[in-house]
């Protein structure tokens, strides 16, 4: 995955952060969904659901969630 892919992920997360309501985005590779990310506007948290592990991770930092998504998609 290229460096530009990380920039694309960050841009999608930044758009979510601008919303005043909860947002959900799906991230996939070759039409296979790898994770979902929910933005909770009220708490300022990103909730990443790793679909392969069925695990949830909570982030209050956009850069950290972007790196995690990048690694899952790699």
CATH code of the domain in which 17 resides:
3.30.720.20
Cβ proximity of 35 and 50 under 8 Å: yes
Other residues' Cβ atoms within 10 Å of the Cβ of residue 46: 25
So what's the pLDDT on residue 35?
98
Side-chain-facing half-sphere of 67: CA atoms under 13 Å: 6
- For 2-61, how does the pLDDT look when each residue is reduced to its tens digit (9 = 90+)? 558 899 999 999 999 999 899 999 999 999 999 999 999 999 999 999 999 999 999 999
The residue segments making up the domain with residue 57 are: 3-73
**Segment holding 7, helix H or strand E:** helix 3-18
Asked if residue 74 has pLDDT above 90, the reply is no
The total of structural domains in the chain comes to: 1
């Amino acid at each position: 995955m290229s460096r530009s892919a990380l920039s694309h992920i960050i841009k999608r997360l930044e758009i979510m952060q601008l919303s005043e309501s909860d947002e959900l985005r799906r991230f996939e590779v070759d039409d296979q969904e790898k994770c979902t990310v929910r933005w909770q506007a009220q708490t300022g948290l990103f909730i990443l659901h790793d679909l392969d592990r069925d695990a949830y991770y909570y982030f209050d930092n956009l850069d950290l969630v972007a790196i995690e998504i990048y690694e899952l998609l790699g």
